[in-house]
Protein backbone atom coordinates (compact mmCIF):
# COMPACT_ATOMS: atom_id res chain seq x y z
CA UNK A 1 0.00 0.00 0.00
CA UNK A 2 1.22 3.49 -0.80
CA UNK A 3 2.73 5.21 2.24
CA UNK A 4 3.84 8.82 2.42
CA UNK A 5 7.26 9.40 4.01
CA UNK A 6 7.45 12.75 5.83
CA UNK A 7 11.05 13.69 6.66
CA UNK A 8 11.64 16.54 9.13
CA UNK A 9 15.07 18.08 9.75
CA UNK A 10 15.20 20.75 12.46
CA UNK A 11 17.91 21.38 15.05
CA UNK A 12 15.51 22.42 17.86
CA UNK A 13 13.54 19.65 19.54
CA UNK A 14 10.60 21.92 20.37
CA UNK A 15 10.09 22.69 16.69
CA UNK A 16 10.39 19.02 15.73
CA UNK A 17 7.57 18.27 18.21
CA UNK A 18 5.44 21.17 16.99
CA UNK A 19 5.83 20.40 13.28
CA UNK A 20 5.16 16.69 13.94
CA UNK A 21 2.02 17.61 15.89
CA UNK A 22 0.68 19.76 13.04
CA UNK A 23 1.48 17.07 10.45
CA UNK A 24 -0.31 14.40 12.52
CA UNK A 25 -3.29 16.69 13.06
CA UNK A 26 -3.78 17.06 9.32
CA UNK A 27 -2.87 13.60 8.06
CA UNK A 28 -4.72 11.68 10.77
CA UNK A 29 -7.89 13.17 9.28
CA UNK A 30 -6.99 11.98 5.78
CA UNK A 31 -7.05 8.50 4.25
CA UNK A 32 -3.34 8.65 3.46
CA UNK A 33 -1.05 6.20 5.21
CA UNK A 34 2.07 8.01 6.38
CA UNK A 35 5.16 7.87 8.57
CA UNK A 36 7.20 10.68 10.16
CA UNK A 37 10.98 10.47 10.40
CA UNK A 38 12.69 13.26 12.33
CA UNK A 39 16.35 14.35 12.43
CA UNK A 40 18.25 17.22 14.04
CA UNK A 41 21.37 17.21 11.89
CA UNK A 42 22.54 17.20 8.30
CA UNK A 43 24.45 13.90 8.23
CA UNK A 44 21.70 11.71 9.72
CA UNK A 45 19.14 13.19 7.33
CA UNK A 46 21.27 12.54 4.25
CA UNK A 47 22.20 9.04 5.40
CA UNK A 48 18.53 8.18 5.81
CA UNK A 49 17.51 9.65 2.46
CA UNK A 50 20.32 7.81 0.68
CA UNK A 51 19.02 4.54 2.16
CA UNK A 52 15.60 4.92 0.49
CA UNK A 53 14.59 3.04 -2.65
CA UNK A 54 12.02 5.57 -3.85
CA UNK A 55 11.45 9.32 -3.49
CA UNK A 56 8.10 10.01 -5.15
CA UNK A 57 6.35 9.59 -1.80
CA UNK A 58 8.72 11.83 0.17
CA UNK A 59 7.85 15.18 1.71
CA UNK A 60 10.80 17.04 3.24
CA UNK A 61 10.15 19.70 5.89
CA UNK A 62 13.43 21.50 6.54
CA UNK A 63 14.90 24.28 8.66
CA UNK A 64 17.59 26.55 7.20
CA UNK A 65 19.70 27.21 10.29
CA UNK A 66 20.90 23.80 11.51
CA UNK A 67 23.71 25.19 13.70
CA UNK A 68 26.20 23.16 11.65
CA UNK A 69 28.83 23.80 8.97
CA UNK A 70 26.22 22.90 6.35
CA UNK A 71 22.88 24.66 6.54
CA UNK A 72 19.41 23.62 5.41
CA UNK A 73 19.87 25.11 1.94
CA UNK A 74 22.91 22.91 1.31
CA UNK A 75 20.91 20.00 2.72
CA UNK A 76 18.14 20.76 0.23
CA UNK A 77 20.66 20.91 -2.61
CA UNK A 78 22.09 17.51 -1.70
CA UNK A 79 18.60 16.03 -1.38
CA UNK A 80 17.82 17.25 -4.90
CA UNK A 81 21.00 15.60 -6.19
CA UNK A 82 19.77 12.34 -4.61
CA UNK A 83 16.04 12.39 -5.36
CA UNK A 84 16.20 14.12 -8.77
CA UNK A 85 13.32 16.43 -7.75
CA UNK A 86 10.88 13.55 -7.19
CA UNK A 87 9.87 14.55 -3.64
CA UNK A 88 8.31 17.81 -2.42
CA UNK A 89 10.07 20.26 -0.09
CA UNK A 90 8.84 22.81 2.48
CA UNK A 91 11.11 25.19 4.41
CA UNK A 92 10.18 26.54 7.83
CA UNK A 93 12.62 29.14 9.11
CA UNK A 94 13.12 32.22 11.23
CA UNK A 95 15.39 33.55 8.46
CA UNK A 96 12.67 34.56 6.03
CA UNK A 97 15.05 36.99 4.30
CA UNK A 98 16.87 33.95 2.88
CA UNK A 99 13.92 33.06 0.67
CA UNK A 100 15.73 34.35 -2.43
CA UNK A 101 18.53 31.83 -1.77
CA UNK A 102 16.09 28.99 -2.46
CA UNK A 103 16.01 30.08 -6.10
CA UNK A 104 19.79 30.43 -6.18
CA UNK A 105 20.15 26.79 -5.05
CA UNK A 106 17.48 25.65 -7.58
CA UNK A 107 15.59 23.65 -4.96
CA UNK A 108 12.03 23.78 -6.41
CA UNK A 109 10.16 24.02 -3.12
CA UNK A 110 6.44 23.85 -2.39
CA UNK A 111 6.44 26.61 0.26
CA UNK A 112 8.67 28.80 2.44
CA UNK A 113 7.18 29.52 5.87
CA UNK A 114 8.06 31.98 8.63
CA UNK A 115 8.43 30.38 12.09
CA UNK A 116 7.64 33.69 13.73
CA UNK A 117 4.35 34.40 11.98
CA UNK A 118 1.26 32.12 12.10
CA UNK A 119 3.33 28.99 11.49
CA UNK A 120 0.63 26.45 12.37
CA UNK A 121 -1.95 27.86 9.98
CA UNK A 122 0.57 28.37 7.18
CA UNK A 123 1.93 24.84 7.56
CA UNK A 124 -1.59 23.39 7.51
CA UNK A 125 -2.32 25.27 4.28
CA UNK A 126 0.95 24.08 2.73
CA UNK A 127 0.17 20.49 3.72
CA UNK A 128 -3.34 20.75 2.26
CA UNK A 129 -1.81 21.91 -1.02
CA UNK A 130 0.64 19.04 -0.90
CA UNK A 131 -2.19 16.55 -0.30
CA UNK A 132 -3.95 17.73 -3.47
CA UNK A 133 -0.76 17.32 -5.49
CA UNK A 134 -0.03 13.94 -3.95
CA UNK A 135 -3.54 12.58 -4.46
CA UNK A 136 -3.56 13.65 -8.09
CA UNK A 137 -0.21 11.97 -8.72
CA UNK A 138 -1.00 8.65 -7.04
CA UNK A 139 -4.50 8.44 -8.50
CA UNK A 140 -2.98 8.68 -11.96
CA UNK A 141 -0.26 6.10 -11.26
CA UNK A 142 -1.68 3.79 -8.63
CA UNK A 143 -3.75 0.63 -8.94
CA UNK A 144 -6.94 0.74 -6.89
CA UNK A 145 -8.34 -2.37 -5.18
CA UNK A 146 -11.30 -2.93 -2.91
CA UNK A 147 -10.38 -4.82 0.27
CA UNK A 148 -13.39 -5.29 2.53
CA UNK A 149 -14.93 -1.85 2.95
CA UNK A 150 -11.67 -0.06 2.09
CA UNK A 151 -10.20 1.01 -1.22
CA UNK A 152 -6.42 0.77 -1.25
CA UNK A 153 -3.93 2.24 -3.71
CA UNK A 154 -0.76 0.41 -4.71
CA UNK A 155 2.05 1.66 -6.93
CA UNK A 156 2.85 -0.92 -9.64
CA UNK A 157 6.58 -0.46 -8.96
CA UNK A 158 6.04 -1.56 -5.33
CA UNK A 159 4.55 -4.92 -6.34
CA UNK A 160 7.15 -7.73 -6.33
CA UNK A 161 4.95 -10.69 -7.17
CA UNK A 162 1.34 -11.85 -7.12
CA UNK A 163 0.17 -15.39 -6.46
CA UNK A 164 -3.06 -17.32 -6.22
CA UNK A 165 -4.16 -18.31 -2.72
CA UNK A 166 -4.67 -22.04 -3.19
CA UNK A 167 -7.03 -22.38 -0.22
CA UNK A 168 -9.29 -19.39 -0.98
CA UNK A 169 -10.59 -17.76 -4.12
CA UNK A 170 -8.24 -14.83 -3.66
CA UNK A 171 -4.87 -13.56 -4.77
CA UNK A 172 -2.03 -12.45 -2.52
CA UNK A 173 -0.10 -9.40 -3.63
CA UNK A 174 3.42 -9.15 -2.21
CA UNK A 175 4.75 -5.58 -2.16
CA UNK A 176 7.98 -4.09 -0.86
CA UNK A 177 6.30 -3.42 2.50
CA UNK A 178 3.40 -5.85 3.00
CA UNK A 179 1.11 -8.62 1.77
CA UNK A 180 -2.38 -7.75 0.56
CA UNK A 181 -5.17 -10.29 0.08
CA UNK A 182 -7.63 -9.34 -2.67
CA UNK A 183 -10.87 -10.95 -3.89
CA UNK A 184 -9.85 -11.25 -7.53
CA UNK A 185 -8.66 -14.01 -9.80
CA UNK A 186 -5.21 -13.90 -11.37
CA UNK A 187 -6.82 -13.27 -14.75
CA UNK A 188 -8.84 -10.34 -13.39
CA UNK A 189 -5.83 -8.66 -11.83
CA UNK A 190 -3.75 -9.24 -14.96
CA UNK A 191 -6.15 -6.95 -16.83
CA UNK A 192 -5.19 -4.11 -14.46
CA UNK A 193 -1.43 -4.58 -14.80
CA UNK A 194 1.01 -2.93 -17.20
CA UNK A 195 3.56 -4.55 -19.49
CA UNK A 196 6.05 -4.46 -16.60
CA UNK A 197 4.48 -7.67 -15.30
CA UNK A 198 4.92 -11.19 -16.62
CA UNK A 199 3.18 -14.45 -15.78
CA UNK A 200 5.79 -17.11 -15.00
CA UNK A 201 3.46 -19.86 -13.83
CA UNK A 202 -0.27 -20.51 -14.00
CA UNK A 203 -0.60 -19.13 -10.45
CA UNK A 204 2.24 -16.55 -10.31
CA UNK A 205 2.81 -13.11 -11.87
CA UNK A 206 6.02 -11.17 -11.18
CA UNK A 207 7.17 -7.60 -11.71
CA UNK A 208 10.00 -7.56 -14.29
CA UNK A 209 11.64 -4.67 -12.43
CA UNK A 210 12.09 -6.92 -9.39
CA UNK A 211 13.67 -9.86 -11.25
CA UNK A 212 17.32 -10.05 -10.24
CA UNK A 213 18.26 -13.22 -12.13
CA UNK A 214 17.11 -16.69 -13.12
CA UNK A 215 18.74 -19.85 -11.84
CA UNK A 216 18.32 -23.61 -11.76
CA UNK A 217 17.53 -25.38 -8.51
CA UNK A 218 17.93 -29.08 -9.16
CA UNK A 219 16.27 -29.37 -12.58
CA UNK A 220 13.72 -26.59 -12.21
CA UNK A 221 14.21 -22.97 -13.33
CA UNK A 222 13.41 -20.16 -10.90
CA UNK A 223 13.32 -16.36 -10.94
CA UNK A 224 15.13 -14.67 -8.07
CA UNK A 225 13.26 -11.55 -7.01
CA UNK A 226 13.95 -8.59 -4.71
CA UNK A 227 14.46 -9.90 -1.19
CA UNK A 228 15.98 -13.15 -2.54
CA UNK A 229 12.50 -14.55 -3.17
CA UNK A 230 12.57 -17.57 -5.50
CA UNK A 231 9.56 -18.52 -7.62
CA UNK A 232 9.39 -21.43 -10.06
CA UNK A 233 9.00 -20.86 -13.81
CA UNK A 234 6.76 -23.27 -15.70
CA UNK A 235 8.26 -25.00 -18.73
CA UNK A 236 5.83 -23.32 -21.12
CA UNK A 237 6.75 -19.84 -19.78
CA UNK A 238 10.52 -20.32 -19.80
CA UNK A 239 11.20 -18.85 -23.25
CA UNK A 240 9.13 -15.72 -22.52
CA UNK A 241 10.82 -15.16 -19.17
CA UNK A 242 14.30 -15.54 -20.67
CA UNK A 243 13.39 -13.03 -23.38
CA UNK A 244 12.31 -10.40 -20.82
CA UNK A 245 15.57 -10.87 -18.87
CA UNK A 246 17.60 -10.12 -22.01
CA UNK A 247 15.69 -6.90 -22.86
pLDDT at residue 49, as a whole number: 95
| Strand pairing category for 88-93 and 58-62 | parallel
4-141: CATH topology is Rossmann fold (3.40.50)
Domain at 144-246: CATH code: 2.40.50.1020
Backbone φ and ψ for 31, nearest 5 degrees, come out as: -100, 15
Reported pTM = 0.64
What is residue 233's predicted lDDT score, i.e. its pLDDT? 92
Residue 181: how many CA atoms within 13 Å on its side-chain side?
7
Q: What stretches in the chain show pLDDT beneath 70?
A: 1-2, 139-140, 151, 168, 247
pLDDT digits (tens, 9 = 90+) for 51-109: 998 888 899 999 987 777 788 899 999 999 999 998 999 998 877 777 777 777 788 89
Query: In the chain, what are the domain boundaries?
Result: 4-141, 144-246
Q: What is the pLDDT of residue 242?
A: 87
- In sequence order, what are the residues at sequence separation of 6 or more whose Cβ sits closer than 8 angstroms to the Cβ of residue 149? none
Beta strands in 104-219 (DSSP E): 111-114, 143-147, 150-154, 159-165, 170-175, 179-182, 197-201, 204-207, 211-217
Amino acid sequence: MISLNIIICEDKQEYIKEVSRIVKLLFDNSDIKYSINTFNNYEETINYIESLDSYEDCLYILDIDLKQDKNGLLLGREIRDIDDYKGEMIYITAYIHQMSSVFKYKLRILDFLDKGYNMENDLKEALKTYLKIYRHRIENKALLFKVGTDVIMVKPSDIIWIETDKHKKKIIMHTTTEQISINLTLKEIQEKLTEEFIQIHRCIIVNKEHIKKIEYINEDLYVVLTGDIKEIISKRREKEVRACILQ
